[in-house]
Structure 1
């Protein structure tokens, strides 16, 4: 939990920065004659390339974690994350957009931190408590998002300290990555008891997608994960652009809003997850929360005043915060313990593929209408709900339950 918290704290710190960095001509990252549409397209590719790299890297890390243990591979992943932040900060300092792209590639390829953390939780958790304990990871995620964006907004504001700028949050996040590595070395025990040798290949991600859809018991749940993630990423990746375009949000405004969303994620995990999972199965829960999430998205387009956004986003945090750990628990319960790293790496690969497309697509369609990414989020999430309620069937008995 501490590892995930520190990792997400670093991620939260840099969330408010990317959109203002590229959409503001005065920052010098792109030629001054680039219009808003062209800048949005470049931003979309910058955000999407991280997930594309993660698509290839996540299953490699998952297989390596099954072979060499969670601890070593998580340490490697954190080192890549810290290096990625350092390179991005240097790219801002040099106004070198290509270096920023390379840093996102590196961070994306090594960015399997949460997937490996899920596998470690699965190693030491029985089926009954798995969704609840995955919810603890979600709570750590939310805590990082409460503090991270707020810290990022402060560190990017030169009115507070004169030498603060948009690169400062990345330097700080890189330092957190190093701290996280030391925490891992000192306090994180190896959780994998039975290691399994798997072939490691850059094409594993493509094979995982093929295998996920080839197996009847995995096809529906992975298609659900793909569509829900695809939809949700239209919101998460380009919500900053919407806020800047419609309400003229500053980096500090964006930071405060994302911190507020993180607060609701924590409240969701702390107040609702365990009571819900005691009374209902993960399958019953997500059948409702996916639909409710899709219904809430269009409400973001209605307000003419920005304060209404603060009324709407708690519902997005609530329904997404409940959906994600329960979907992960459903996936985890499909395989025995020695295959947890691989199937959760497969999940991460599926999510990464789903996350690569929305920012790129949003970069193009934002130039047509700034509301289209939010509408796309709703449509894709509804499609995921339809797939889940019509195609997914829970196994009659859990496979390989004896290893947990």
Structure 2
């Protein structure tokens, strides 16, 4: 199998996994924070403010699990291969979605939290896919291929919420319910598992040694202190703290401002996902053409912060809000590709799993922190405050990274 065909398999695998993951995005706020919704399952003994806190906790459980597991899974994939680690991660996602669907059916809050945490602990699939893409790409190809791989997130973001909106609307068919999207997500992950098992070739050089069990942790610790990429890791951490303030509450913000139901929220994400696809396939490769990846980190961060502040100000026009979110999607794409490509280029070929595993871990930690803290803050103030917190955090990240790079 050629490197191009291998990349195509990795793209399709990522697409199915992201569609499955994205199904939860428009449903969680309706399940936990919207008593007027037909999907609302929060037991009466819990208050509305507790629903916001629970929304943050369930949202944070998955990335927190990833924070703990992805560096080790990435390191192990360097030693034992991408395929077995990828299959293990996808199998964990199958189980987690089945449990989450049952938790929705039974209105069990512990099951919802436990399923998301378990999915995160076993969910190193995206970081392993990224390492496999790095295996089959030259330094010159990495920015373009990481951008195209990001387009799978755009397609997934477009299709996942739209599919979830349809599959959760009981009025369309008697067998549909709020839990149906999560059972369907398990089926998609099973397709991904089959694709990896039957089609994907191994891409890693797999240097298995007699190292003791603590060696992966030592290498991770060493890599976190490596000067070439250390600043990128911590910029990634801070950036995704800001990013998660936005993603955790965007559905709640849009539904409250413009009165959208689950089907309309699915349409909103379809439009945003289409923007992400266009930016990843067409705009981002042109922006990066002939430019050093690291030089675009600060411009990407500043542009992302500006779009977040604009989203806070646009509170009466849905078309303008969608247009501004499109600008945010482009700025976000530039930022993520710039950081990710710089990490990969600054790492040795046999360190791609470790480096991109830590990258994903910092991303996951950043996404988990706001889940709980923002839930408490937003419950006390208003959901719109999340946009201000997001913009301020990203702008601070831009300043700190610019200052650190200048000092170096």
Q: Output the TM-score relative to the length of structure 1.
A: 0.92
Pairwise CA distance, 1:64: 1.5
Residues 241 and 201 of structure 1: is their aligned pair in 2 closer, same or farther, counting only changes over 3 Å?
A: farther
Residues 220 and 87 of structure 1: is their aligned pair in 2 closer, same or farther, counting only changes over 3 Å?
A: same
RMSD between aligned alpha carbons? 2.1
Match for residue 382 of structure 1 among 395, 400, 405: 395
Residues 128 and 165 of structure 1: is their aligned pair in 2 closer, same or farther, counting only changes over 3 Å?
A: same
Deviations 1:300-336 (A, max 9, x none): 1222233322121100111111221221110112221
Match for residue 359 of structure 1 among 360, 371, 381: 371
Q: Counterparts of 1:191 and 1:247 in 2: how far apart (Å)?
A: 47
Pairwise CA distance, 1:194: 4.2
Deviations 1:129-173 (A, max 9, x none): 111111111111211222111111111111211221211100100
Match for residue 216 of structure 1 among 224, 227, 230: 227
Alignment of 1:9-158 (within 5 A): 9-25=19-35, 29-158=41-170
Q: Counterparts of 1:147 and 1:49 in 2: how far apart (Å)?
A: 23
Deviations 1:79-111 (A, max 9, x none): 011111000001111111111111111101111
Helix, strand or coil: the match of 2:23?
Answer: helix
The residue that corresponds to 1:271 in the other structure is: 282
Pairwise CA distance, 1:212: 5.3
The residue that corresponds to 2:252 in the other structure is: 241
Pairwise CA distance, 1:277: 2.1
Q: Counterparts of 2:69 and 2:46 in 1: how far apart (Å)?
A: 33
The residue that corresponds to 2:405 in the other structure is: 392
Q: Counterparts of 2:166 and 2:327 in 1: how far apart (Å)?
A: 26
Residues 273 and 394 of structure 1: is their aligned pair in 2 closer, same or farther, counting only changes over 3 Å?
A: farther
The residue that corresponds to 1:285 in the other structure is: 296
Residues 244 and 207 of structure 1: is their aligned pair in 2 closer, same or farther, counting only changes over 3 Å?
A: farther
How many pairs were matched up? 393
| CA contact 1:261–1:317 (8 Å) conserved in 2 | yes
Pairwise CA distance, 1:388: 2.1
Pairwise CA distance, 1:213: 5.1
The residue that corresponds to 2:175 in the other structure is: 163
Residues 212 and 380 of structure 1: is their aligned pair in 2 closer, same or farther, counting only changes over 3 Å?
A: farther
Q: Which runs of 5+ in 1 are unaligned?
A: 396-404
Alignment of 1:159-198 (within 5 A): 159-197=171-209
| CA contact 1:135–1:269 (8 Å) conserved in 2 | yes
